[in-house]
Structure 1
Amino acid sequence: MTKSELIQRLSERYPDLYQRDVERIVSTIFDEIGEALARGDRVELRGFGAFSVKRRDARVGRNPRTGASVQVTEKYVPFFKTGKQLRERLNTD
């Protein structure tokens, strides 16, 4: 599902809200999650999951085209861990 599809579904579910308001709400939520992660904070949405930032150490990688060694610098990447309720919902028969 894309961001625009999410906005469309929410607009259909809540017809009393203008689509531009729904778009602003969704954008604000995503912006706040991004800003919290940039600060190094953890964002937990109960029943859904938790967003956090993980550090990847510097390493020697390989260029897939040439096979040459490439130095990859240390970096921080977003990480998502599903919540128990979401996992159970996905794995019910």
Structure 2
Amino acid sequence: MALTKNDIVTKVHQLGFTKNKSVEIVEILLELIKSTLEKGDDVLISGFGKFCVKKKNKRRGRNPATGADLMLRERQVVTFKCSGKLRERLNS
């Protein structure tokens, strides 16, 4: 089961914030992360991991439905590298 934005809002609400304030806090945090990544900067959350923007070059691809060759455009993707602490918790 995936963790949803609503789950995060509920956890923030349990800290004593009103429901509306909890939604606002989560929205501001997510917007801050998105705007930082849009600028091409990395987002480092200590003890959790690092979100990085990577450039992918133009490359040849294939449409799996038709088998037709095509060129995939240059693009940017977000990658995530977990911290050592998180990796230890996952593997313990």
- Same fold per TM (> 0.5)? yes
Residue 65 of structure 1: how far off its partner (Å): 0.5
TM-score (norm. length: structure 2): 0.93
Structure-1 separation of matches of 2:56 and 2:25: 32
Percentage of identical aligned residues? 37
In the alignment, which residue of structure 2 is the partner of 1:88? 88
Are 1:7 and 2:2 counterparts?
A: no
Question: Deviating runs (4+, > 2 A) in structure 1?
Answer: none
Alignment gaps of 5+ in structure 2:
none
- Cα distance between partner residues in 2 of 1:2 and 1:25: 15
1:53 aligns with 2:29: no
Partners of 1:55 and 1:5 lie apart in 2 by 32
- Shift, 1:10, TM fit: 2.4
The count of residues paired between Structure 1 and Structure 2 equals 90
Counterpart check, 1:25 vs 2:25: yes
Q: SS at the partner of 1:55?
A: strand
1:82 is matched by which residue type in structure 2?
A: C
Inter-partner Cα distance in structure 1 for 2:55 and 2:21: 36
CA distance in 2, matches of 1:10, 1:35: 22
